Structure 1
Amino acid sequence: MPAIYVDADACPVKAEVMKVAERHGLPVTFVANGGLRPSRDPMIRNIVVSGSFDAADDWIVDHAQAGDIAITADVPLAARLVEKGVHTLGPTGRPFTPETIGMAVAMRNLKQDLREAGEIKGYNPGFTPKDRSAFLQALDQTVRRALRANQGNQSS
Protein backbone atom coordinates (compact mmCIF):
# COMPACT_ATOMS: atom_id res chain seq x y z
CA MET A 1 0.00 0.00 0.00
CA PRO A 2 1.56 3.34 -0.98
CA ALA A 3 1.94 6.08 1.62
CA ILE A 4 1.76 9.82 1.06
CA TYR A 5 4.53 12.09 2.32
CA VAL A 6 4.03 15.86 2.44
CA ASP A 7 6.75 18.50 2.67
CA ALA A 8 4.45 20.44 4.96
CA ASP A 9 6.26 23.63 5.97
CA ALA A 10 4.55 25.84 3.40
CA CYS A 11 2.15 23.37 1.80
CA PRO A 12 -1.17 25.00 0.80
CA VAL A 13 -2.95 21.70 0.06
CA LYS A 14 -2.83 19.77 3.35
CA ALA A 15 -6.64 19.52 3.55
CA GLU A 16 -6.84 18.25 -0.03
CA VAL A 17 -4.19 15.60 0.66
CA MET A 18 -6.15 14.37 3.69
CA LYS A 19 -9.39 14.28 1.69
CA VAL A 20 -7.93 12.17 -1.14
CA ALA A 21 -5.99 9.94 1.27
CA GLU A 22 -9.12 9.25 3.32
CA ARG A 23 -11.07 8.34 0.18
CA HIS A 24 -8.42 5.76 -0.74
CA GLY A 25 -7.51 4.62 2.78
CA LEU A 26 -3.87 5.73 2.52
CA PRO A 27 -1.65 6.87 5.39
CA VAL A 28 -0.29 10.43 5.25
CA THR A 29 2.86 11.76 6.89
CA PHE A 30 3.28 15.52 7.18
CA VAL A 31 6.92 16.50 7.74
CA ALA A 32 7.85 20.01 8.87
CA ASN A 33 10.17 22.05 11.06
CA GLY A 34 7.18 22.97 13.26
CA GLY A 35 3.69 24.38 13.32
CA LEU A 36 1.76 21.20 12.54
CA ARG A 37 -1.72 20.78 13.98
CA PRO A 38 -2.28 17.42 15.64
CA SER A 39 -4.82 15.10 14.08
CA ARG A 40 -6.99 12.50 15.76
CA ASP A 41 -7.07 10.49 12.54
CA PRO A 42 -4.87 7.40 13.03
CA MET A 43 -3.95 7.53 9.32
CA ILE A 44 -2.32 10.97 9.74
CA ARG A 45 1.15 11.24 11.21
CA ASN A 46 3.00 14.47 11.95
CA ILE A 47 6.79 14.49 12.07
CA VAL A 48 8.53 17.59 13.38
CA VAL A 49 12.22 17.65 12.48
CA SER A 50 15.02 19.90 13.65
CA GLY A 51 15.26 23.38 12.22
CA SER A 52 18.43 22.53 10.32
CA PHE A 53 18.53 23.18 6.60
CA ASP A 54 16.90 20.39 4.56
CA ALA A 55 16.05 18.30 7.66
CA ALA A 56 12.46 17.74 6.45
CA ASP A 57 13.67 16.93 2.94
CA ASP A 58 16.22 14.43 4.27
CA TRP A 59 13.59 12.77 6.49
CA ILE A 60 11.20 12.34 3.56
CA VAL A 61 13.91 10.94 1.27
CA ASP A 62 15.04 8.52 4.00
CA HIS A 63 11.51 7.17 4.59
CA ALA A 64 9.71 7.30 1.21
CA GLN A 65 9.90 4.14 -0.87
CA ALA A 66 9.48 3.53 -4.59
CA GLY A 67 5.76 3.56 -5.35
CA ASP A 68 4.92 6.01 -2.54
CA ILE A 69 3.57 9.49 -3.26
CA ALA A 70 5.15 12.80 -2.22
CA ILE A 71 3.90 16.37 -2.32
CA THR A 72 6.46 19.17 -2.50
CA ALA A 73 7.14 22.49 -4.19
CA ASP A 74 10.87 22.00 -3.54
CA VAL A 75 12.42 21.04 -6.89
CA PRO A 76 15.70 19.63 -5.48
CA LEU A 77 13.67 17.44 -3.10
CA ALA A 78 11.43 16.37 -5.99
CA ALA A 79 14.54 15.35 -7.97
CA ARG A 80 15.76 13.16 -5.09
CA LEU A 81 12.33 11.52 -4.78
CA VAL A 82 11.87 10.92 -8.51
CA GLU A 83 15.27 9.22 -8.52
CA LYS A 84 13.93 6.80 -5.86
CA GLY A 85 10.80 6.01 -7.91
CA VAL A 86 8.42 8.06 -5.73
CA HIS A 87 5.36 9.55 -7.49
CA THR A 88 5.97 13.27 -6.89
CA LEU A 89 3.58 16.21 -7.31
CA GLY A 90 3.83 19.93 -6.74
CA PRO A 91 0.99 21.68 -4.86
CA THR A 92 -0.44 22.97 -8.15
CA GLY A 93 -0.76 19.41 -9.46
CA ARG A 94 2.41 19.61 -11.54
CA PRO A 95 3.91 16.11 -11.76
CA PHE A 96 7.64 15.66 -11.38
CA THR A 97 8.64 12.63 -13.45
CA PRO A 98 11.88 11.16 -14.80
CA GLU A 99 11.02 12.89 -18.10
CA THR A 100 10.33 16.35 -16.60
CA ILE A 101 12.59 16.66 -13.56
CA GLY A 102 15.71 17.68 -15.51
CA MET A 103 13.96 20.71 -17.02
CA ALA A 104 12.38 21.60 -13.65
CA VAL A 105 15.82 21.61 -11.99
CA ALA A 106 17.33 23.65 -14.84
CA MET A 107 14.53 26.25 -14.68
CA ARG A 108 14.79 26.49 -10.89
CA ASN A 109 18.55 27.08 -11.12
CA LEU A 110 18.15 29.64 -13.91
CA LYS A 111 15.53 31.60 -11.93
CA GLN A 112 17.72 31.48 -8.82
CA ASP A 113 20.66 32.88 -10.81
CA LEU A 114 18.47 35.63 -12.29
CA ARG A 115 17.12 36.56 -8.83
CA GLU A 116 20.64 36.71 -7.39
CA ALA A 117 21.74 38.93 -10.28
CA GLY A 118 18.77 41.24 -9.68
CA GLU A 119 17.30 40.54 -13.11
CA ILE A 120 13.99 39.25 -11.74
CA LYS A 121 12.13 39.62 -8.46
CA GLY A 122 11.68 36.60 -6.23
CA TYR A 123 7.89 36.61 -6.14
CA ASN A 124 5.99 33.40 -6.65
CA PRO A 125 2.55 33.63 -8.22
CA GLY A 126 -0.37 33.41 -5.80
CA PHE A 127 -2.05 30.08 -5.18
CA THR A 128 -5.44 30.09 -6.91
CA PRO A 129 -8.64 28.02 -6.72
CA LYS A 130 -7.71 26.71 -10.17
CA ASP A 131 -4.39 25.45 -8.73
CA ARG A 132 -6.26 23.74 -5.88
CA SER A 133 -8.63 22.02 -8.31
CA ALA A 134 -5.78 20.91 -10.58
CA PHE A 135 -3.96 19.52 -7.55
CA LEU A 136 -6.98 17.51 -6.38
CA GLN A 137 -7.40 15.97 -9.83
CA ALA A 138 -3.68 15.23 -10.23
CA LEU A 139 -3.40 13.69 -6.75
CA ASP A 140 -6.41 11.46 -7.30
CA GLN A 141 -4.95 10.26 -10.62
CA THR A 142 -1.54 9.71 -9.03
CA VAL A 143 -3.04 7.72 -6.15
CA ARG A 144 -4.97 5.52 -8.59
CA ARG A 145 -1.82 4.95 -10.65
CA ALA A 146 0.20 4.09 -7.51
CA LEU A 147 -2.50 1.68 -6.29
CA ARG A 148 -2.62 -0.08 -9.68
CA ALA A 149 1.19 -0.38 -9.72
CA ASN A 150 1.14 -1.74 -6.16
CA GLN A 151 -1.48 -4.35 -7.08
CA GLY A 152 0.60 -5.37 -10.08
CA ASN A 153 3.70 -5.77 -7.92
CA GLN A 154 1.84 -7.91 -5.37
CA SER A 155 0.48 -10.30 -7.98
CA SER A 156 3.91 -10.92 -9.54
Structure 2
Amino acid sequence: MMDSRIVYIDADACPVTREALRCARAARVPVVIAGNTTQNLERHIRSDDPRDAGHARGRDAAHAGFWVEVLDVSVGADSADFAIVERLQPGDVVITQDIGLASMVLGRGGSAIGVRGRVYSKATIDMDLFIRHEEKKVRRAGGRTRGPAAFTAEDRERFVRNLTRLLTEAG
Protein backbone atom coordinates (compact mmCIF):
# COMPACT_ATOMS: atom_id res chain seq x y z
CA MET A 1 0.00 0.00 0.00
CA MET A 2 1.47 3.34 -1.03
CA ASP A 3 0.88 6.06 1.51
CA SER A 4 0.75 9.68 0.38
CA ARG A 5 2.12 11.18 3.58
CA ILE A 6 5.71 12.13 4.15
CA VAL A 7 7.89 12.17 7.25
CA TYR A 8 9.89 15.38 7.66
CA ILE A 9 12.89 15.41 9.97
CA ASP A 10 13.94 18.76 11.41
CA ALA A 11 17.53 17.55 11.40
CA ASP A 12 19.22 20.39 13.28
CA ALA A 13 20.58 18.57 16.35
CA CYS A 14 18.26 15.58 15.86
CA PRO A 15 19.57 12.56 17.80
CA VAL A 16 17.09 10.08 16.28
CA THR A 17 17.52 10.51 12.52
CA ARG A 18 18.71 6.93 12.00
CA GLU A 19 15.81 5.55 14.05
CA ALA A 20 13.33 7.69 12.11
CA LEU A 21 14.68 6.38 8.81
CA ARG A 22 14.46 2.81 10.08
CA CYS A 23 10.81 3.30 11.11
CA ALA A 24 9.95 4.95 7.77
CA ARG A 25 11.63 2.14 5.80
CA ALA A 26 9.57 -0.42 7.70
CA ALA A 27 6.33 1.54 7.17
CA ARG A 28 7.26 2.35 3.53
CA VAL A 29 6.76 6.09 4.07
CA PRO A 30 8.99 8.63 2.29
CA VAL A 31 11.28 10.93 4.28
CA VAL A 32 12.61 14.44 3.78
CA ILE A 33 15.56 15.38 6.00
CA ALA A 34 15.71 19.17 6.33
CA GLY A 35 18.78 20.86 7.74
CA ASN A 36 21.29 23.55 7.05
CA THR A 37 24.07 23.02 4.57
CA THR A 38 26.79 22.85 7.24
CA GLN A 39 25.60 19.41 8.33
CA ASN A 40 26.46 16.18 6.58
CA LEU A 41 22.88 14.93 6.36
CA GLU A 42 23.82 12.36 3.72
CA ARG A 43 25.61 10.31 6.39
CA HIS A 44 22.25 9.05 7.66
CA ILE A 45 21.17 7.60 4.33
CA ARG A 46 22.04 4.07 3.25
CA SER A 47 23.59 3.70 -0.20
CA ASP A 48 20.69 1.47 -1.34
CA ASP A 49 17.96 3.90 -0.23
CA PRO A 50 15.98 5.27 -3.19
CA ARG A 51 16.38 9.02 -3.46
CA ASP A 52 13.04 9.91 -5.04
CA ALA A 53 9.56 8.53 -5.72
CA GLY A 54 10.50 7.37 -9.22
CA HIS A 55 13.26 5.11 -7.93
CA ALA A 56 11.01 3.85 -5.12
CA ARG A 57 8.38 2.69 -7.64
CA GLY A 58 10.96 0.43 -9.26
CA ARG A 59 11.55 -1.44 -6.00
CA ASP A 60 10.04 -4.75 -5.00
CA ALA A 61 6.72 -4.57 -3.15
CA ALA A 62 8.38 -5.03 0.25
CA HIS A 63 10.33 -1.79 -0.20
CA ALA A 64 8.10 0.29 -2.48
CA GLY A 65 6.91 3.62 -1.13
CA PHE A 66 10.02 4.52 0.88
CA TRP A 67 12.50 7.07 -0.43
CA VAL A 68 14.61 9.72 1.23
CA GLU A 69 15.52 13.22 0.13
CA VAL A 70 17.86 15.74 1.74
CA LEU A 71 16.54 19.29 1.77
CA ASP A 72 19.48 21.64 2.31
CA VAL A 73 18.43 24.98 3.75
CA SER A 74 20.43 28.11 4.44
CA VAL A 75 22.10 28.65 7.77
CA GLY A 76 19.85 30.72 9.97
CA ALA A 77 17.25 30.53 12.67
CA ASP A 78 14.18 28.56 11.63
CA SER A 79 15.29 27.97 8.00
CA ALA A 80 14.53 24.25 8.21
CA ASP A 81 11.24 24.95 10.00
CA PHE A 82 9.97 27.24 7.25
CA ALA A 83 11.15 24.86 4.51
CA ILE A 84 9.19 22.04 6.15
CA VAL A 85 6.02 24.10 6.70
CA GLU A 86 6.14 25.26 3.07
CA ARG A 87 5.98 21.65 1.83
CA LEU A 88 3.76 20.18 4.56
CA GLN A 89 0.45 18.53 3.66
CA PRO A 90 -2.29 17.32 6.04
CA GLY A 91 -1.40 13.89 7.37
CA ASP A 92 2.38 14.39 7.13
CA VAL A 93 4.51 13.65 10.20
CA VAL A 94 7.22 16.02 11.45
CA ILE A 95 10.00 15.07 13.86
CA THR A 96 11.20 18.13 15.76
CA GLN A 97 12.43 19.48 19.06
CA ASP A 98 10.91 22.86 18.24
CA ILE A 99 7.54 23.56 19.89
CA GLY A 100 6.89 26.46 17.51
CA LEU A 101 7.29 24.17 14.49
CA ALA A 102 5.15 21.51 16.19
CA SER A 103 2.41 24.12 16.62
CA MET A 104 2.52 25.10 12.94
CA VAL A 105 2.42 21.42 11.93
CA LEU A 106 -0.65 20.74 14.08
CA GLY A 107 -2.33 23.84 12.69
CA ARG A 108 -1.85 22.53 9.14
CA GLY A 109 -3.30 19.09 9.88
CA GLY A 110 -0.03 17.22 10.36
CA SER A 111 1.34 15.23 13.28
CA ALA A 112 4.39 16.27 15.26
CA ILE A 113 6.59 14.11 17.45
CA GLY A 114 9.52 15.18 19.60
CA VAL A 115 12.86 13.40 19.60
CA ARG A 116 12.07 11.91 23.02
CA GLY A 117 8.87 10.37 21.64
CA ARG A 118 6.33 12.90 22.82
CA VAL A 119 3.50 13.20 20.32
CA TYR A 120 2.36 16.82 20.35
CA SER A 121 -1.35 17.47 20.77
CA LYS A 122 -3.66 20.31 19.76
CA ALA A 123 -5.10 20.09 23.28
CA THR A 124 -1.78 21.02 24.94
CA ILE A 125 0.26 22.92 22.35
CA ASP A 126 -0.95 26.36 23.52
CA MET A 127 0.26 25.60 27.05
CA ASP A 128 3.59 24.33 25.67
CA LEU A 129 4.02 27.60 23.76
CA PHE A 130 3.08 29.64 26.85
CA ILE A 131 5.64 27.82 28.99
CA ARG A 132 8.32 28.32 26.33
CA HIS A 133 7.48 32.04 26.22
CA GLU A 134 7.61 32.42 30.00
CA GLU A 135 10.94 30.59 30.25
CA LYS A 136 12.37 32.82 27.51
CA LYS A 137 11.25 35.91 29.49
CA VAL A 138 13.03 34.60 32.59
CA ARG A 139 16.25 34.01 30.62
CA ARG A 140 16.09 37.46 28.98
CA ALA A 141 15.79 39.00 32.44
CA GLY A 142 19.00 37.23 33.48
CA GLY A 143 17.35 34.32 35.24
CA ARG A 144 17.99 30.66 34.73
CA THR A 145 15.66 27.91 33.67
CA ARG A 146 16.16 24.20 33.88
CA GLY A 147 17.58 22.67 30.70
CA PRO A 148 16.50 19.36 29.26
CA ALA A 149 17.48 16.14 30.99
CA ALA A 150 20.14 13.98 29.37
CA PHE A 151 18.90 12.01 26.37
CA THR A 152 18.45 8.38 27.38
CA ALA A 153 17.97 4.95 25.82
CA GLU A 154 14.40 5.06 27.15
CA ASP A 155 13.81 8.31 25.22
CA ARG A 156 15.07 6.62 22.05
CA GLU A 157 12.85 3.56 22.63
CA ARG A 158 9.79 5.75 23.31
CA PHE A 159 10.50 7.68 20.11
CA VAL A 160 10.67 4.51 18.00
CA ARG A 161 7.53 3.08 19.60
CA ASN A 162 5.47 6.27 19.13
CA LEU A 163 6.74 7.03 15.62
CA THR A 164 5.96 3.46 14.57
CA ARG A 165 2.44 3.92 15.93
CA LEU A 166 2.01 7.24 14.07
CA LEU A 167 3.20 5.70 10.81
CA THR A 168 1.04 2.60 11.04
CA GLU A 169 -2.16 4.45 11.95
CA ALA A 170 -4.41 5.21 9.00
CA GLY A 171 -3.08 8.35 7.28
TM-score under structure 2 normalisation? 0.81
- 1:129 maps to which residue? 153
CA–CA distance in structure 2, aligned partners of residues 58 and 6 of structure 1: 12
Pairing 1:70–2:73 present? no
- 1:90 maps to which residue? 114
- 2:56 maps to which residue? none
Residues 88 and 110, structure 2, Cα contact 8 Å, conserved in 1:
yes
- 1:36 maps to which residue? 40
Number of equivalent positions: 147
What stretches of structure 2 of length at least 5 have no aligned partner? 51-66
CA–CA distance in structure 2, aligned partners of residues 30 and 12 of structure 1: 13
- 2:54 maps to which residue? none
SS in structure 2 of the partner of residue 95 of structure 1: coil
Aligned CA RMSD, in angstroms, stands at 1.3
Residues 117 and 162, structure 2, Cα contact 8 Å, conserved in 1:
yes
CA–CA distance in structure 1, aligned partners of residues 136 and 124 of structure 2: 19
Paired residue for 2:29, among 20, 26, 30?
Answer: 26
Paired residue for 1:10, among 9, 13, 17?
Answer: 13
Choose 30-39 or 56-65, whichever is displaced more.
Answer: 30-39
- 1:154 maps to which residue? none
Residues 16 and 156, structure 2, Cα contact 8 Å, conserved in 1:
yes
CA–CA distance in structure 2, aligned partners of residues 138 and 92 of structure 1: 10
Residues 36 and 46, structure 1, Cα contact 8 Å, conserved in 2:
no
Q: Greater helix share, 1 or 2?
A: 1
What stretches of structure 1 of length at least 5 have no aligned partner? 151-156
Instruction: Report the AA paired with residue 16 of structure 1.
Output: E
Deviation track 1:66-95 (CA, whole Å, cap 9, x = no partner) reads 001000010111111110011100101111
Greater CA radius of gyration, 1 or 2? 2
Paired residue for 1:52, among 76, 85, 89?
Answer: 76
Residues 102 and 112, structure 2, Cα contact 8 Å, conserved in 1:
yes
Paired residue for 2:141, among 109, 117, 123?
Answer: 117
Residues 33 and 69, structure 2, Cα contact 8 Å, conserved in 1:
yes
CA–CA distance in structure 2, aligned partners of residues 128 and 116 of structure 1: 29
Q: Percent identity?
A: 32
Choose 37-46 or 132-141, whichever is displaced more.
Answer: 37-46
Q: Deviation of residue 111 (structure 1)? A: 1.4
CA–CA distance in structure 2, aligned partners of residues 116 and 126 of structure 1: 24
